[in-house]
Amino acid sequence: MPPLAVVPASSNEAVERLASMADVTASDGALRRFLHGLPGVDAVGQQARAATLGTRSIKTTAKAYAIDLAISMIDLTTLEGADTPGKVRALCAKGVHPDPTDRTAPKVAAICVYPDMVSTAKAALAGSGVHVASVATAFPAGRASMPVKLADTRDAVADGADEIDMVIDRGAFLSGRYLEVFDAIREIKAACRRDDGSAAHLKVIFETGELKTYDNVRRASWLAMLAGADFIKTSTGKVAVNATPPVTLLMLEAVRDFRAAVGVQVGVKPAGGIRDTKDAIKYLVMVNETLGDDWLSADWFRFGASSLLNDLLMQRQKLSTGRYSGPDYVTVD
């Protein structure tokens, strides 16, 4: 897998457009006016549009292509208090060779772990092309001081994390303290920089199930992108309501509109609750129909999942052999 794509903000036009929006974030009041001035979301229409896209039928060669694409977009994840170095190394081995009986199966995009497991994952993945992602900023609740969140991030980056998945302070956001959330994202973004001038990519997690309304999801999307997010991500996978098609569609529309406005492309990552091939393909159809080919790669779209990979592998084996192998033919994570 090639290195992550660089967000295309290097052109003079893109830089000028982004700079022209500086007034939007100059004060809490200005940011509030901008975010609350975004068009309201028609909830019924949003749900209907997502449902319609979910009815597309994908068969034969197109389905085989979609399965391989989905595998290549997975952030294979273990975020448990009982994680051990052995479990992380086993997950890394699975990420590099998801199907040991078929070396044509693509690698996953990344292995996602807690910060203290980054060095273990980095060593296990050396030379594989699979990235190391780390949750940080007091994941999943985000209830910690900024010095703690920054230290969490810097430690993960110093240990070799290629990507940082941070959580926003939902309490601050829901209280209307938008500039506080914006500044926190900017500080974490700065903490992602390495001594050699490169930087880990930053994914910003909203925990959309706690934001309650579609309007809040749209506002959070624009806030994070203005603050420099490389990806916007739905959820931690640790609450009752995680990624849903209508919310993901709304975030896809937000990154489309953001690129049209400022010339900067941002990725999207739905996470939590996507467990089978049928659902994964529905999300890929949504990406294709909303954003087109520009986002149909692991550089710009990810699945935050663990159990999804097993179902994709079983469906892949069925297409290849004509037989459904069943769960005993894939490793248990």
> In this structure, what CATH number is given to the domain that contains residue 259?
3.20.20.70
Q: What residues act catalytically?
A: 165, 233, 269
Q: Return d(Cα 286, Cα 305) in angstroms, integer.
A: 18
Asked if the structure places residue 277 within a domain, the reply is yes
Residues 219-226 have a mean pLDDT of 97
Q: Return d(Cα 317, Cα 332) in angstroms, integer.
A: 16
Asked if the structure places residue 107 within a domain, the reply is yes
Give, in degrees to the nearest 5, the angle at Cα 316 between 69 and 87: 80
Domain that holds residue 114: 24-325
- Dihedral pair phi/psi, residue 8, rounded to 5°: -80, 65
Task: Give the percent of the chain with pLDDT over 90.
Answer: 79
Asked if the structure places residue 257 within a domain, the reply is yes
Question: Is 9's pLDDT higher than 90?
Answer: no
Average pLDDT, the chain: 91
Q: Return d(Cα 176, Cα 218) in angstroms, integer.
A: 14
The token pair at 197 is: 């001038």
Where b means 16+ CB within 10 Å and e means fewer, 17-54 reads: bbeeeeebbeeeeebeebbeeeeebeeeebbebbeebb
CA 119 and chain centroid, separation: 21
DSSP-derived letter for residue 255 is H
Residue 281's nearest CA partner among 63, 26, 47, 27 is: 63
Give, in degrees to the nearest 5, the angle at Cα 77 between 46 and 152: 100
pLDDT at 324: 65
Asked if the structure places residue 121 within a domain, the reply is yes
pLDDT at 320: 80
Of 14-28, 44-58, 89-103, 113-127, the one with minimum mean pLDDT is: 14-28
Q: Tell me the pLDDT tens digit for each residue of 236-284.
A: 988 888 999 999 999 999 999 999 998 899 999 999 989 999 999 999 9
Q: Tell me the pLDDT tens digit for each residue of 153-207.
A: 999 999 999 999 999 999 999 999 999 999 999 999 999 999 999 999 999 999 9
Q: Tell me the pLDDT tens digit for each residue of 169-179.
A: 999 999 999 99
Q: Return d(Cα 258, Cα 8) in angstroms, integer.
A: 12
Residues 81-107 have a mean pLDDT of 95
Confidence tier at 291 by pLDDT (50, 70, 90): very high
Residues 122-146 have a mean pLDDT of 95
Of 60-64, 123-127, 197-201, 326-330, the one with minimum mean pLDDT is: 326-330
Confidence tier at 305 by pLDDT (50, 70, 90): confident
pLDDT at 16: 66
Q: How many domains does the chain have?
A: 1
Asked if the structure places residue 13 within a domain, the reply is no
pLDDT at 147: 97
Residues 142-159 have a mean pLDDT of 96
Asked if the structure places residue 56 within a domain, the reply is yes
Of 9-23, 52-66, 86-100, the one with minimum mean pLDDT is: 9-23
Q: Give the DSSP H or E segment for 203.
A: strand 201-205
Q: What residue type is assigned to position 60 of the chain?
A: T
Asked if the structure places residue 293 within a domain, the reply is yes
Q: Give me the residue label for tokens 């190391």.
A: 132
59 in helix, strand or coil?
coil
DSSP-derived letter for residue 131 is E
Asked if the structure places residue 297 within a domain, the reply is yes
* Torsion angle of the four alpha carbons 41, 44, 49, 55, in this order, in degrees rounded to the nearest 10: 150
Residues 75-80 have a mean pLDDT of 94
Considering the entire predicted model, what is its pTM?
0.91
Q: What residue type is assigned to position 326 of the chain?
A: G
Residues 122-134 have a mean pLDDT of 97
